[in-house]
Each structure stands twice: as C-alpha cells, then as structure tokens.
Amino acid sequence: MSAARSVRPALMMLAVYFLSTWAGVAAVQAQTGPVPDVSLSCDQPQPIDVYPGATRSSIINCRVENPTVHQEKVRITIQAGVLAVSGPASLTVGSGSEVAFQVSIRAELRAPEGQHQVSISAEVTMANGIPVTSDPTSYNIMAIIRQFSRLRVASEVAFLQLRPKVDYNLIFDVYNDGNAMDRFNIEVQNYDELNDEGFQLSIPLVSVEIESMAPPEKIRVQMRTPKNQGWTDKYFSLQFKATSEYSVRTEGIPNYQIQTMTVYIRGVYLPGFELIGTMMMTALAAAAFAGRTSRESDDESELVELDSRIF
C-alpha cells in the first residue's frame, strides 16, 4: 500500500507534463494551422572545375522563410550522391522572417564531366520551443561538372638515323588526360620547312577522337627522306603536334602538345644509283658463280688425271 502511494505522485507529474505538451502543441496548431510550415528556395550553383589545380568546389545559396507567427527550428538535410557536401544541420527562423544559408559541394580531382542532382530538404522540428512534426520541403538542383582538356604526346623513339631516299613510318602516341571525350587535330608543325629540305610527309589521320583516360591512340606519319643529289650529312627536327579541339572551341586558348624527333640523314644519293647498284650486285653474283664452276671443273680434271696414273 505504501509502494502504491509513492508511485502515484510520479504518475501524476508525468500526466501533467504530457498534458502541458499537448496543450502547447494544440496552441501552436491553433495559431499556425494544423502543420508548421516553411518555404525553401535555392540558386543554381556555378559549374565545378575539376582540372589539376582547380578548387573543385561550388556554392549553393539557399533561403528558408517562416510564414507563421511563431519562432521555428528547422532541420536541414542535404543529399548529393558522389559529391562531398557541407552545410548547416539546423536553423532557427523567427516569425515572418527569412534566413539565408550556403551549401558547399565538392567533386573529386578529374571527375568525369556530367550532371549530379543535389537535394536539399527543410523540416520544422520545433515551434516556440515545442517539438512538432511536419512534412519536409525539398528543393532539387543540378550540379554541373565542367569538361576540361588535357593531353600528352609521346614517341617510340626520339632520335633516328636514316639514309637518303628511305621510306619510314614514325609512330606517335596521343593521350587524352581530360575528363571527357575529345577530338585532337594532328599535324607536323614544321611541315613546310621539312618539305623545302626534300622530305615527303603524309599523315593518314588528321584528327582522332579519344575517350577520357583511354589507352593512347597511335598516329602514323609516313616519311620519305630527302633524295638531294650527292652526299648528305645533316640533322633535322620533326615537330609532331596534337591540339585539343574542345579547347579551341570552348576554352578560348588552344591546348596542344608538341613532340620533337631528331632525324639524322647520312649517305649518298645519285640519280640511277639504285639501278647501277642492282646491276653490280647481279654481275658480282654471276662472277662468283662462274668462278665456283671453274674451280669445280679443274678439280674434276685433276681427279681424272690422278686416276689414270694409278691404273
């Protein structure tokens, strides 16, 4: 009996507390409507640059407005998928007031070009210091990761020694280190200079599309060395150039790479020298064959004479 008496005051206090809470919520609902309310709006952020050295971030400016006559505490929830985000967890908004806040979004280095949805929600959790339940208000925006151009050019050899009037295929590797597919224009930058020196150059592919971070595209430059009459002993520089078409079209500054190869031409060229050389080789081969036949005949004669002596 004494135990029941001791529990009764505690139960009465809990009942009074819940009744007061219910009365407060009822009073709030009577003044502000059945559900506490806020409105949320946000501005479209600037595109995010993700090239090496960029900040890789952007800011979303948002506003929460309280149309009621009571002070409200608002919970802020942010979802951005693969993007890293930071912003306030909650805000206190006065009656008929508006509070601005910012959400920072950040992408990975060299993140692929594209769009990502960012969802921001505001939900009233307290009105006049009393816990309440409300439906969240959401605002969706698109965060854009901007494309950037980046490329590398490499060659299998940096130095080459050849004779005059020789056909040779030069191989160059072009890499797309940007974050989206790009087209690269191909050329020999000092083509006119080499052409004046007697080189004949041809590029089967003058442009090529390469996926971001894909294996390099191998570009052939077909070359015939000069056939200037006489002796040649000279160094030449061939400058292979690849330029990002996206950089020219969008970035405003051409992004290109030049790979230089040294070509050393040493030897003699005379008109008709190839034919004369072929005839000389044929004559030498014929003379060697005739000499071998003559030696074999002499050896057979000696054997016959030796046999006749024996018998």
User: What whole-number distance in Å separates Cα of residue 292 and Cα of residue 300?
Assistant: 13
Query: The whole model's pTM is what?
Result: 0.72
Which tokens is 13 given? 């206090």
Separation CA 58–CA 103 (nearest Å): 9
- β-strand pairing of 130-131 with 137-145: unpaired
Q: Are 185 and 206 in contact (CB under 8 A)?
A: yes
Q: Which residue has the tokens 């000069």?
A: 226
Predicted confidence band at 51 (pLDDT cuts at 50, 70, 90)? very high
Q: What is the pLDDT of residues 245-264, one digit of tens each?
A: 999 999 999 999 999 999 99
Contacts for 214 with CB less than 8 Å, ≥ 6 apart: 176
Q: Which residue has the tokens 């030069």?
A: 170
Please check whether residue 220 is in contact with residue 171, taking contact to mean a CB–CB distance below 8 angstroms: yes
Q: Provide the pLDDT for residue 70.
A: 86
Instruction: Pull the structure tokens for residue 230.
Output: 């006489």
What Rg, from alpha-carbon coordinates, does the chain have? 43
**For 30-83, where are the E strands, in sequence order?**
39-42, 57-65, 72-79
Which carries the bigger pLDDT value, residue 16 or residue 204? 204
CATH code given to domain 34-145: 2.60.40.10
Q: Residue 82 class from Cβ within 10 Å (0-12 exposed, 13-18 middle, 19+ buried)?
A: exposed
What phi and psi values does residue 110 have, to the nearest 5 degrees?
60, 25
**Of the ranges 75-79, 158-162, 280-284, which one carries the lowest mean pLDDT score?**
280-284
User: For domain 151-269, which architecture applies?
Assistant: Sandwich (2.60)
DSSP H/E element including 289: helix 273-310
Closest to 263 measured CA to CA, from 223, 235, 240, 224: 235
Domain-by-domain residue ranges, the chain? 34-145, 151-269
Largest CA distance in the chain: 156
* C-beta separation of 155 from 261 below 8 A: yes
Question: How far is residue 77's CA from residue 135's CA, in Å, rounded to a whole number?
Answer: 13
pLDDT number for residue 306: 43
CB atoms within 10 A of CB 158: 10
Cα-Cα-Cα-Cα dihedral sign, residues 289, 291, 292, 296: positive
Name the nearest CA neighbour of 260 among 188, 180, 169: 188
Q: What is the mean pLDDT of residues 229-251?
A: 96
- pLDDT, one tens digit per residue, over 126-173 is 999 999 988 999 999 999 999 999 999 999 899 999 999 999 999 999
Answer yes or no: same fold for 34-145 and 151-269.
Answer: yes
